[in-house]
Amino acid sequence: MPLDRAPPSESRFGTPLELTRVDWLRPEVVVEVAFSTWTADGLIRQSSYQGQRHDKPAKDVLHPVAKRRSE
């Protein structure tokens, strides 16, 4: 598993994640995605595919940190 920590086994989408049934892939394609906001469990809401990025190698892509609004 290439992740620092395992993804949660429980999902709000129904059946639990079974890591023994997961096939990990090496990222090779980078795409641009627009979205409205992050959910409380770290998913993106209302995503929209914007197109493929040829200017950035997949190894340079990091998970963005959600920005919090100032109160």
Mean pLDDT of the chain: 81
Q: Is the pLDDT of residue 27 over 90?
A: no
Which residue is associated with the tokens 């809401």? 45
Q: Is the pLDDT of residue 71 over 60?
A: no
Q: What is the pTM of this model?
A: 0.56
How is residue 2 annotated by DSSP? -
Which residue is associated with the tokens 């493929």? 52
The values of phi and psi at residue 58, to 5°, are -60, -35
